[in-house]
Chain A
Amino acid sequence: MMQPERKRHGLVTRIWHWLNVVCVIVLFMSGLNISNAHRYLYWGNYGFEPADAWASVIRFPGWATIPGYYDLAAARDWHILMAWPFAFGLLVMWAAMLVSGHFWRDIRTTRREWKPAAIRRDIVQHLKLNFDHSSGQYNFLQKLAYGLVLGVFLPGMILTGLAISPGFEPSAPWLVDAFGGRQSARSIHFIFSWAIFAFFLVHVLLVILSGPIGQLRGMITGGTAGPEETP
């Protein structure tokens, strides 16, 4: 009998990956439109005066926002719609990662990898643009980046998004407290959205540097796990 060939990316991973790309782009760009409505961020529970703000944000230009002109109502419509597939997609992805072992096998870091010398070696390899690590496995920095994005920043967007919503607060007031108040939750929502954007830039850059055609094909067809396919 033929061994079923092990794919580099599982089906759930691939579907989730592209669904998530669409969700995050729409959420980010509609979020920037929402940000234009009140361009000040505060800590604590209240805040409305620029003098109390810890940050005054730029006005985002139309090409960076959804819709492409200032429209708070439409931007909120898009945000509220895409929050659903984004949140459920992440939930399914996490369940699949835990059940299939993808998380334990590929993303969880080991204590050995946290040694400074090992980290230094990994950084040097990245700076040399040497992506030839062993057959389809993630290296430490990749694991750290994917772990942070999957485990902190993406779920953080859902939790802070819920904490900002006044209709949700009565069911979980502790969530708002956990972030230090509604305006703090809003600030964290904003900061995390830029952390995700930063990940996105580095992620796309590394895909381009490490052979975009193979990488894209891998994320669409699944590719095969094996040294010959490592770009």
Chain B
Amino acid sequence: MNGSIGRRGVLSGMGLLFLGACSKVADTKIGGSMLDSAEKWHRKIHRSLSDRMALAREYTKADISPNFRGNGSRTVDTPEYAAAIETGFADWRLEVRGLVDHPMSLSLDNIRRLPQRTQITRHDCVEGWSAIGEWTGPQLSTILEAAGVQDSAKFVVFRCADTLAGSRYYESVDMVDAYHPQTIVAHALNGEPLPVKNGAPLRMRIERQLGYKHAKYLTAIELVDSLEDIGDGEGGYWEDRSGYQWYAGI
């Protein structure tokens, strides 16, 4: 038995080395790019397994969860936002800018008058929980077509009014998700104007990805050719701050 205890000691020592190595590997250039490409391969396989426009599942009214959890920012901590709540967001503007032929500034009324899509979908948070709700709003593609997206545009950046830990929230998607039929600018949840905790008055729905992609308190849609100069260059608030995956379909 003696020999085997020695061996076990060696083995558990190797185990510890291995675990220590994990964090070292992640910090190196090759390790980091290995982790990045694993994410890219998941995106590629997800997209090649189904049509690029394949829909996320839609549920019936009976499936809606009794309540829809608000997470991350649950409000916007500014006097302007408090005042906007009072006026029912009458002066709220959604700007459409960047690489477009016709920059626009839309009011909530403008947005409600566009052709609408209503969808009952499941919202999956990166933490693990899910909620189901009915969302209504125009498809992002309708707005993009009206604005005339230039060929050089590769990403859509969503600008938000809320700040978390001192930084402005933002998110981004590529053109596949931007033009996906279920990608809508939602102004209503379960038939009512969006509650403050869920992003009033406007939020994105990016149905095939995790919750942090669904930017809330939306103020602008910006078309860009690269994400490098936006924020810290990783494509979103959590991507910059904590290294979350930019492709959040996993």
Contact = CB atoms under 8 A, between A and B. Distances in A.
A66 B130 contact: no
A61 to B, nearest CB: 13
B243 A47 contact: no
A176 to B, nearest CB: 7
Nearest to A79: B250
B242 A213 contact: no
Interface string A57-68: 000000000111
Contact of A167 (B4, B42, B57, B122): B42
B59 A45 contact: yes
Interface stretch (B19-27, B138-146, B196-204): B19-27
A131 to B, nearest CB: 15
B35 A81 contact: yes
A208 B35 contact: no
Given A38-B125, A67-B22, A77 B55 contact: no
Contacts of A78: 22, 26, 35
A84 interface: yes
Which of A66, A73, A81, A173 has the largest count of B CB atoms less than 10 A from its CB? A81
Contacts, number: 142
Nearest to A161: B250
Nearest to B38: A81
Contacts of B250: 76, 80, 165, 167-168
Contact of A26 (B22, B67, B128): B22
B129 A40 contact: yes
Given A77-B35, A166-B249, A168-B49, A46 B127 contact: no
Interface string A73-108: 110111011011000000000000000000000000
B128 A37 contact: yes
A32 interface: no
A122 B130 CA distance: 45
Interface in A166-220: 166-173, 176, 182-183, 186, 208, 212-213, 216
Contacts of B59: 45
Given A80-B38, A213-B7, A167 B128 contact: no
B65 interface: yes
Judged by DSSP, the binding face of A is helix
Given A67-B23, A80-B38, A48 B129 contact: yes
B130 A47 contact: yes
Nearest to A30: B22
A193 B38 CA distance: 22
A170 B65 contact: no
Interface string A145-180: 000000000000000000011111111110010000
A213 B3 contact: yes
B245 interface: yes
B8 to A, nearest CB: 8
B11 to A, nearest CB: 9
Contact of B249 (A29, A71, A168, A172): A168
B179 interface: no
A48 B131 contact: yes
Given A45-B63, A80-B250, A81-B38, A38 B242 contact: no
Interface string B53-65: 0111101000101
B22 A48 contact: no
B2 to A, nearest CB: 11
B249 A167 contact: yes
B111 interface: no
Contact of A38 (B128, B132, B245): B128
Interface string B34-60: 110011011100110110001111010
A34 interface: yes
Interface string B152-187: 000000000000000000000000000000000000
Contacts of B210: 166
A35 B129 CA distance: 11
A78 B39 CA distance: 10
Given A76-B245, A213-B4, A38 B42 contact: no
A72 interface: yes
B208 interface: yes
B247 A167 contact: yes
Given A46-B65, A48-B131, A182-B124, 19 more contacts: A22-B18, A47-B130, A66-B19, A67-B22, A76-B126, A77-B26, A77-B245, A80-B42, A164-B124, A165-B42, A166-B56, A167-B42, A167-B209, A168-B49, A168-B250, A169-B56, A171-B49, A173-B57, A212-B4
